[in-house]
Structure 1
Amino acid sequence: MTIKYFAATAASAACLAAPALAEVDFAGKTIEWVIPFSETGGSAKWANFFAPLLSEELPGNPTVVVKFMPGAGSTKGANWFQEQEHDEGTVLFGTSGSTQFPYLLDDPRVRYEYSDWNPVMASGTGGVAYLNPTDGKKFDGTANNLKDVNFIYGSQGATRLDLVPLLAWEMLGMNVEPVFGIKGRGDGRLMFERGEATIDYQTSSSYLGASADLVEKGQAVPMMTWGALDEDGNIVRDPTFPEIATFKEVCEATEGCETEGEAWDAWKAFFIAGFPVQKIAFLPAGSPDDVIATYTAAFDAVRNREDFAQIAEKRVGKYPVFVGEGAAKATQRGTTVSAEAKAFVTNWLQEAYGVSLK
């Protein structure tokens, strides 16, 4: 797919121009923020966190309602959004890495084009993998004692964001059998809680909202995070979970796992595409410049609230929030991977799961 520069850039660059903002008033209106996942996952918690804050900052203080449209690992909702032509600013769409990955891999079910949409906010996130208590006792900072265990994992699909943990576990030499078809990562957590799955991972917002309680109760054992990126592009500890080792650290300590070569390069490329720019809010194609600018200014006001860092840490974690041109550039980074990484993952999906994207 050809990546074009996002239409929001020009409009949002001038987002603070008062005359433009004065023309938009959402008084008495309802904003529908559509999330293409179930209400139990991290995207739901992300949107539900930002929705009331956005309502406070948009002109006229409209009601912002989060609605859910799960199906096909978010492809159903994204294909629906591609057809929307709302120009009054009352429809917002939220995506995650599970929406980006099918696009990156040229999944034939994808009928959406990111460069047609208008990103008004993008935020990063992290992810935490955890084990059931029995196998958690075997974890010593390496996967060496876990290689003879047969794990079960509730998955949205191998071409979704789940490819990051699935490839990581394979690189560690672990035997993880995915059960495909869940509608959101929260449903995977519920499988874990019921004992139907024995290993799980959640994005930061969902982990903070539910999985951390499992750890506190002794019902789960943290294994690793995917990490975060420093200014030089190196993987470092996740700022929200600095006490938990990264996959890179666990890999380096595990026999047979390498942090260089084709597999590592491909994993890192998709990690970068899926997590540092993990969740994005879009207005539909055709949205007027003044509406785009108004949303950009509102999200900018949200992230600059004096209490934002404190309340975000507890709900969605410590990650950057991008608006305006920053959101457009972040979206472009999140929807681009190298041909080499794409080829590796495409071959791996075929060999590991029989998934053909041709």
Structure 2
Amino acid sequence: MTEFNAARAVALGVAASLTAAAPAAAEVEFGGKTIEWVIPFSETGGSAKWANFFAPLLSEELPGQPTVVVKFMPGAGSTKGANWFQEQEYDDGTLLFGSSGSTQFPYLLNDPRVRYEYSDWNPVMATGTGGVAYLNAEDGARFDGSANALKDIDFIYGSQGATRLDLVPLLAWEMLGMNVEPVFGIKGRGDGRLMFERGEATIDYQTSSGYLGGSTALVEAGTAVPMMTWGALDEDGNIVRDPTFPDIPTFKEVCEATDGCETSGDAWDAWKAFFVAGFPSQKIAFLPQGTPQEVIDAYVAAFEAVRAREDFDELAAKQVGEYPMFVGQGAQKAVKSATTVPDSAKAFVLKWLEDSYGVVLK
């Protein structure tokens, strides 16, 4: 056989193998089915807005254009829903689960209530997000870019729990020397915003989708004043201004302007480690353990198609913010980043939780 014919035979063999594989891919069909996307928070928070944004786009791109319904399973700061998802073994692609930083942090801190294992799940899409802290109008009038004039105020904050994503704002406010008393037990950040609106809380924070979907109206009405974002990461891992909120200073900037707050040392290193785990890869969509590879591939292809839409960036900027979207292998890398922190940061936070809130995780 000549070299040309040998190469042609190899090419034909590859083509034949691809053709043989095609029917298997075509077997993934969701026409007439309903896909349940379970969010382990209440319907008022940022995760709800995130899933509700992606659900109709996903429906358009999956084979057969199934109905994608977002359902909510709040409880224990998302641990209830995550523990439930761990036990599910759907193999037909009709169950999707959305986690958040409040699901990741208890896992990172070895919370004894956690009975889920991220390595068992199949990530198909992940997105970053940001967060904005804001004050009521009276206290916001005293904010000048530093927290110096806020240190004699007793703030009330509606919190899901110190071991959830609220760890990031609570530690930040403490580093700034502010007196913020959390009221634990709310089921989602949207409930915290409602407490703020009713005057039951005097300080609040929302992830970007929650802030865009609800808190910006408070700012426009003059009843809320933005204080700071958590920022975003540049290519070198430095904290820079959040691209969705470029006019709002970062916590790093406010810390640098505040007496006694340091952007180096153990507290800063711990805060930044949990910020990195909780926000740049914050919201992740998973299929359950046991899902066949062809179903996973169908979801990856669908989310790839969503990301490739000409109008995607414009739509996302308005509803969930300007953040990267990771699909397939990118989503797998995002999960690793979101579920890994240095031992030193973990040790600092565990001691801080015990000293500040009497929370002991053993």
What is the TM-score of this pair, normalised by structure 1?
Answer: 0.95
Question: SS at 1:131's partner residue?
Answer: strand
Q: CA deviation at 1:300?
A: 0.6
The equivalent residue for 1:82 is 86
Question: SS at 2:275's partner residue?
Answer: helix
- Pair 1:55–1:171, CA change in 2 (3 A): same
Aligned partners of 1:43, 1:288: CA distance in 2, in Å? 26
More deviation, 161-170/21-30:
21-30
The equivalent residue for 1:219 is 223
Match for 2:361: what amino acid? L
Question: SS at 1:224's partner residue?
Answer: strand
Question: SS at 1:167's partner residue?
Answer: helix
Aligned partners of 2:210, 2:310: CA distance in 1, in Å? 24
Match for 2:256: what amino acid? E
2:321 to 303, 317, 324: 317
1:342 to 339, 346, 361: 346
Question: SS at 2:299's partner residue?
Answer: helix
What 5-or-longer segments of structure 2 have no aligned partner? 1-17
The equivalent residue for 2:356 is 352
Question: SS at 1:93's partner residue?
Answer: strand
- Percent identity between matched residues is 82
1:177 to 181, 184, 191: 181
1:240-319 residue pairs with structure 2 within 5 A? Answer: 240-319=244-323
Aligned partners of 1:124, 1:146: CA distance in 2, in Å? 30
Q: CA deviation at 1:201?
A: 0.1
Match for 1:153: what amino acid? Y
Match for 2:290: what amino acid? G
Root-mean-square deviation over aligned CA pairs: 0.9
1:93-242 residue pairs with structure 2 within 5 A? Answer: 93-242=97-246
The equivalent residue for 2:14 is none
1:36 to 29, 40, 60: 40
Q: CA deviation at 1:23?
A: 1.7
Match for 1:327: what amino acid? A
Match for 1:224: what amino acid? M
Could you report, residue by residue, the CA deviation over 1:73-100 in whole angstroms, capped at 9, with x for unpaired residues? 0000000000001000000000000000
The equivalent residue for 2:15 is none
Question: SS at 1:282's partner residue?
Answer: strand
Aligned partners of 1:285, 1:150: CA distance in 2, in Å? 46
Higher Rg:
2
Question: SS at 1:178's partner residue?
Answer: strand
Question: SS at 2:347's partner residue?
Answer: helix
Could you report, residue by residue, the CA deviation over 1:37-73 in whole angstroms, capped at 9, with x for unpaired residues? 0000000000000000000000000000000000000
- Pair 1:166–1:20, CA change in 2 (3 A): farther
Match for 1:281: what amino acid? A
- Pair 1:151–1:294, CA change in 2 (3 A): same
Could you report, residue by residue, the CA deviation over 1:268-319 in whole angstroms, capped at 9, with x for unpaired residues? 0000000000000000000000000000000010011000000000000000
What 5-or-longer segments of structure 1 have no aligned partner? 1-13
Match for 1:215: what amino acid? V
Aligned partners of 1:82, 1:289: CA distance in 2, in Å? 18
Aligned partners of 2:23, 2:335: CA distance in 1, in Å? 27
Higher relative contact order (CA 8 A, sep 6+): 1
Q: CA deviation at 1:21?
A: 3.1
The equivalent residue for 2:11 is none
Q: CA deviation at 1:18?
A: 5.3
Match for 2:59: what amino acid? S
Match for 2:272: what amino acid? K
Aligned partners of 2:210, 2:273: CA distance in 1, in Å? 23
1:57-76 residue pairs with structure 2 within 5 A? Answer: 57-76=61-80
Q: CA deviation at 1:20?
A: 4.6
Aligned partners of 2:66, 2:325: CA distance in 1, in Å? 22
Match for 1:101: what amino acid? F
Could you report, residue by residue, the CA deviation over 1:221-272 in whole angstroms, capped at 9, with x for unpaired residues? 0000000000000000000000000000000000000000000000000000
What is the TM-score of this pair, normalised by structure 2?
Answer: 0.94
Aligned partners of 2:254, 2:23: CA distance in 1, in Å? 53
- Pair 1:241–1:86, CA change in 2 (3 A): same
Match for 1:116: what amino acid? D
Aligned partners of 1:294, 1:268: CA distance in 2, in Å? 35
Q: CA deviation at 1:22?
A: 1.5
